Structure 1
Amino acid sequence: MINYLRHMAVFARVVDEGSFRGAAKTLNLAPSRISHTVADLEQYLGVTLLYRTTRKLTLTNEGSNFYKHAIEILKNAEAGLNELNALSEQPIGSLRISLPAFLTTSPISSAIADFSKLYPKVSLSLIFTDHIVDILNESLDLSIRVGWLKDSSMLARKLFESRRILVASKAYVSSRDIPYKPSDIVSWDWISFDIRSNSVEFESEHGEKVTISYHSNLSVNSADALVHFAKKGLGLTYIPEQLVDEAIQSGELVHVLPTWKIKSLGYYAVWPNKSRRENLTLLLVRYLAERLANT
């Protein structure tokens, strides 16, 4: 039976993901390999665990009962690894982490690279995406979130804050009257980010707060795309400062309304309350917090 423990883990992942393809993606294996592993397990047990259709997988009664046992075994194995990692001078295991796509070359990614060098026996799987990721459904151990967190059952630690600034291309700004206050730019063209509302709050150097709403003819789902289309002269957008530093220094982009501030962004590490790899997750979170404290 010990030879089939890996088969049980693959079967449990198929159930968690709801498909062979989803399990293959998270396990970095070919879908055909996943299907063969489950079929091999069914042949060994002499029962059908899953009903397969072109649209979905459904657990049989035997599969449902077996899944409960498989999950329990995996939880106990994870608990054992957590205890050993707590005692080990050289942590071992794997972590699956999601980050916004615009952080691919950021200080956070650099810190993760250094963590990997420091703990070479810890395997890291990084998913870069600007889409909102469901930590539990995607079987993530940690997610780096940017913005301001709402109440949730997840655990979180703030890593740092960064400034956002309003920018547009030099040519676009030159074609408009010089703006002095937020109301002057309401009628300008805007490039919007599809996961945030079309309104923005400004604060003057004297503490006056003003919120404006704007219309956008172009909406994107990538922070890098915001920068690209701003450079192309399609209008205003506001973006983390570090993404446009070079473009502003070169004159390709202009900081619009520089005396008015936009609320900064918080950068958080977020993880499940009952993490499967608690000690490894906390090790990485603490490392990131220390490295990025002065960012």
Structure 2
Amino acid sequence: MMDRLTALNVFVTIVEHGSLSAAASHLDMSRAKVSRYLSELETWMDARLLHRTTRNLSLTGVGEETFNAALGVLNMAQSLEGIKQKNALDLEGKLRVTSSYTLVDSLLIDVVNDFVKQWPKTSIDILSTSEPLNLIESRIDLAIRITNDLAPNVVAKRLGECRSVICASPEYLAVHGTPKDVQALAQHNCLSYNYFGRSAWEFDGPNGPESVSIKGNISANVSEVLLSATLRGGGISLQPFPTVKRYVDTGALIPLLSEWKVEALGVYAVYATRKQITPLQRAFMDFLSERVGRSLNWQPES
């Protein structure tokens, strides 16, 4: 008799990866075995689930209904497995996690260190990178990102939020002066991170929302570049506070205009698929969410 749970898993993997061959590679199965599971599932459903040509693969009407139902079944199965493992008090396995250099350094490495101490049969492989990776191609289990601009099709769990701070080095302020209000930023060299936009920064100030047109001679798509330039006296930038706290504590950076608040950024765990969230993934996300709540959700002191 067909293992229907496995067949549903194979079917969902085919759809998400776009072909039988890609699904076989992902599942570490032969293509023939993947094809057999699909055929048996179609026999069980008494319907064709996929339109297949040499170049294309698409869901039939029944296939789309089956796909959505399969996601629910697989998620339920994983939840039950998570309960089982949680009760067994014995997590094991390996996770591959990716994040930016600054977030790894300011948060993730401490979380990972504590997690593997608590669960000694687990191991975590951290990939630090300034560029988003293709999670499937890179075999990444979780990507930890700070953003309010996730793509609509991204599968993610919100872990918490992160406050930001306007900051500059003492050297920059000594030469150019300290802005007294956010409108004065228009007269300064503001280093723009693409998330905030190149032409305006938005604030919630003492008198309500304010928008400030800014200009500067350095912009970048990753905050690490702007942090480095800010530390070198290149200008004023907006930074996630946890990544600059050490520099604020030592005086290498000065927080500015604390009465004007910047919109908080979401902290997310991003993963490749809606199905098969393993007990280890779920446990690590819960562990990280609790730590984010304690470590990131703060605003610099006024």
What TM-score comes out, normalization by structure 1 length?
Answer: 0.65
Aligned-residue offset at 1:220: 3.6
2:164·2:238 contact (CA, 8 Å) conserved in 1? yes
Q: Name the CA distance, whole Å, in 2 between partners of 1:216 and 1:161.
A: 27
1:253 matched residue in structure 2: 253
Q: Name the CA distance, whole Å, in 2 between partners of 1:201 and 1:255.
A: 17
Given the alignment of the two structures, is residue 92 of structure 1 paired with residue 56 of structure 2, yes or no? no
Q: Name the CA distance, whole Å, in 1 between partners of 2:108 and 2:238.
A: 21
Change (3 A) 1:284 1:71: farther
Q: Name the CA distance, whole Å, in 2 between partners of 1:125 and 1:72.
A: 34
Q: Give SS of 2:279's match.
A: helix
1:100·1:146 contact (CA, 8 Å) conserved in 2? no
Deviations 1:159-203 (A, max 9, x none): 222221111122222333542332211131122335552131111
1:104·1:128 contact (CA, 8 Å) conserved in 2? yes
2:188·2:216 contact (CA, 8 Å) conserved in 1? no
Change (3 A) 1:251 1:152: same
Change (3 A) 1:284 1:180: same
1:95·1:277 contact (CA, 8 Å) conserved in 2? no
Given the alignment of the two structures, is residue 200 of structure 1 paired with residue 201 of structure 2, yes or no? yes
The percent identity for this pair of structures is: 22
2:106·2:243 contact (CA, 8 Å) conserved in 1? no
Q: Give SS of 2:267's match.
A: strand
Q: Give SS of 1:244's match.
A: helix
1:144 matched residue in structure 2: 144
Q: What is the RMSD of the two structures over their aligned residues, measured on CA atoms?
A: 3.7
Change (3 A) 1:249 1:143: closer
What TM-score comes out, normalization by structure 2 length?
Answer: 0.64
- Counterpart of 1:205, as a letter, is P
Q: Give SS of 1:261's match.
A: coil
Deviations 1:121-141 (A, max 9, x none): 223221112212333343322
Q: Name the CA distance, whole Å, in 1 between partners of 2:269 and 2:125.
A: 16
2:213 matched residue in structure 1: 213
Aligned-residue offset at 1:209: 1.1
Aligned-residue offset at 1:146: 0.5
- Counterpart of 2:33, as a letter, is H
Aligned-residue offset at 1:94: 2.2
2:280 matched residue in structure 1: 280
Query: What count of residue pairs does the alignment treat as equivalent?
Result: 233
